[in-house]
Amino acid sequence: MGVAMVATLVASVLTGQTLQLRHTNPAQGALRAITAGPAGLVAVGEGGQILTSIDGRAWTAQNSPTKLRLNSVTFGDGRYVAVGDGGIICESTGGVKWNSGFILTGPEHREITANYYAITYSGAFVVVGEGGTILRWTSAWPSQTEPSPTTQTLRSVSPGTPGATWFTSVGAAGTVISNYTGTWEIIRSSMADDLEAITPAFHSYFVSSGGLNYAERWSALAGGARGQLFDIGRRANLPTNAPVVDALPSPTATRIKCVVSGGLRFVEPWRPEFASSHATYATAFVLVDEDGQVFWSTQSASDAIVRSGWMQIGRADRAVHGAVWCAEHQAFYLVGDNQTVIAAAEFPPWGLANASVRGFVSAPQGPLIAGIVVPGEIERSVLVRGIGAGLRRFGVSTVLGRPRLTIFRGSVEFANATELAADPRASLLRATGEQLGAFPMDENDSAILVRLSPGTWTAVLASADGGSGAALIETYLLP
């Protein structure tokens, strides 16, 4: 089955799509990065400032061992580690008391003075920075830099996929490098524009029932100048095929400052034709551009990367420089100028909420698919609408004329509907949508009002007559 667009609605990511200011201090410089760990959130920035918070609301300034700008921070191996200008590295086990130092290399023990711009952890710490500088260590700090295939400045680094012990880094002139093979290699370079940010997105492997075929797919999401967005990954049998960099639809034409994934999930099995399979994937992304616009999107385990469906959830009134997903709070946090901390797309604990996913349905691209996860322990009443002709009221000319909407539980069909004009419950469906504040449907649109038990469901919107056009899947949780 082809896929025009895939989205997963997990928990209630769609109920809190507003930006909430949690902290600001106009007298202070910008916060550049933020991370989450067992002792809470840690944000770092200009002048070496370090702020900590347990709940994301009350923030405390900690004594910093440096006045140098700290550009990035992460948690791993029982400690918070921050890096910054001039080769500074700071460490803390609890986020309160911090030590600092520099990497010494060579027989003369010279300090590395290159600016470090990013750090991440996944089985090892990896730092990247000015002039293609790369550091990697597991416990003790390294005594030398890693051999780098580039002299371009590297701006961001992440695990190649969720939980991977190899890494991908991006930077100036569109440089993309990875140590997937054990050695850092250039995947792509010499692009016109810089890449600013990268985040892990997807990983899966499949082993056939005969034990002969081994295939792997991995993916990361990277963004840069002019709103460019890329899927960096490998989707073929290993080890024959090199990684690829594919352009993706972007919600902005402005430089992407940060992109971060959250809500990592582990699925096993997810392809019945394989005797053994698994997938880890990010269920939500937050992307922030240079104008402070904040976008949200989702990803399904059945597609390597979300390819459309970005939704603007707000706009920050100041520059945003970093972001992180906090699993404990079920929220994304953004940091920026004036020591600002913003909470975005919070996940309240009580359930699915109203959402819409738009895409193009055609024979080459396939149907529109939306994954639905109903949390909790009781059934919930859900209205799912498949809109085609109803989009004309919004100025969309090429629409899906006769959408057929189907809900699946796994591979088993649970409910289906075609045009509203032939549905005996048309009056009820229209009235329910009106009560929920939905726009009126066309008589050729389709809708299903059903009770769904907790777990994962799939809504598929296809053409009932082989046609093609823009379409929309809407999901509403009834009170």
Give the span between the Cα atoms of 96 and 132, in whole angstroms.
31
Percent of the chain with pLDDT over 70: 78
Residues 340 and 206 in one domain: yes
Which amino acid belongs to residue 104?
L
Is the pLDDT at 18 greater than 80? The verdict is: no
CATH number, residue 112 = 2.130.10.10
Give the span between the Cα atoms of 27 and 426, in whole angstroms.
59
Q: How far apart are the first and last CA of the chain?
A: 34
In the prediction, which pLDDT does 249 show? 78
Q: What is the CA radius of gyration of the chain?
A: 23
Last residue of a domain, one of 316, 346, 376: 346
Last residue of a domain, one of 346, 380, 406: 346
Closest CA to 256 of 286, 232, 227, 292: 227
The pLDDT-based confidence of 355 (bands split at 50, 70, 90) is low
In the prediction, which pLDDT does 271 show? 38
Is the pLDDT at 209 greater than 70? The verdict is: no
In the prediction, which pLDDT does 6 show? 25
355 or 10, higher pLDDT:
355
CB 388 within 8 A of CB 398: no
CATH number, residue 375 = 2.60.120.380
Residues 211 and 338 in one domain: yes
Residues 314 and 432 in one domain: no
Residues 86 and 208 in one domain: yes
CB 27 within 8 A of CB 349: no
**Phi, psi at 85, each rounded to 5°:** -65, 155
Residues 404 and 334 in one domain: no
In the prediction, which pLDDT does 278 show? 45
What's the mean pLDDT when you consider all of the chain?
A: 79
Instruction: Write out pLDDT tens, residues 252-270.
Output: 889 999 998 886 554 443 3
Instruction: Write out pLDDT tens, residues 110-158.
Output: 778 899 999 999 999 999 999 999 999 998 888 889 999 999 999 999 9
Give the span between the Cα atoms of 211 and 146, in whole angstroms.
37
Which single residue is written with the structure tokens 């892990």? Answer: 200
Got the DSSP string for 45-62?
Answer: EGGG-EEEESSSSS-EEE
**0.75 exceeded by the pTM?**
no
State both tokens at 155: 């701006």
Which single residue is written with the structure tokens 């082809």? Answer: 2
Judge whether 281 lies within some domain.
Answer: yes
Instruction: Write out pLDDT tens, residues 62-97.
Output: 999 999 999 999 999 999 999 999 999 999 999 999
Is the pLDDT at 3 greater than 60? The verdict is: no
Is the pLDDT at 277 greater than 60? The verdict is: no
Cβ contacts of residue 417 below 8 Å, gap of 6+?
386, 404, 405, 423, 446, 447, 448
Instruction: Write out pLDDT tens, residues 404-442.
Output: 999 998 888 999 999 999 998 888 898 888 877 788 999
In the prediction, which pLDDT does 118 show? 98
Which single residue is written with the structure tokens 């399979």? Answer: 277
Instruction: Write out pLDDT tens, residues 432-470.
Output: 888 777 889 999 999 999 888 877 788 899 999 989 999
Give the span between the Cα atoms of 452 and 400, in whole angstroms.
26
Residues 409 and 260 in one domain: no
Is the pLDDT at 329 greater than 90? The verdict is: no
Total domains present in the chain: 2
Give the span between the Cα atoms of 168 and 195, in whole angstroms.
12
Residues 338 and 426 in one domain: no
Q: Cα angle vertex 412, ends 407, 414, to 5°?
A: 40
Give the span between the Cα atoms of 326 and 87, in whole angstroms.
27
Give the span between the Cα atoms of 150 and 132, in whole angstroms.
5
Give the span between the Cα atoms of 289 and 38, in whole angstroms.
29
Is the pLDDT at 46 greater than 90? The verdict is: yes
In the prediction, which pLDDT does 300 show? 45
Residues 430 and 469 in one domain: yes
Judge whether 224 lies within some domain.
Answer: yes
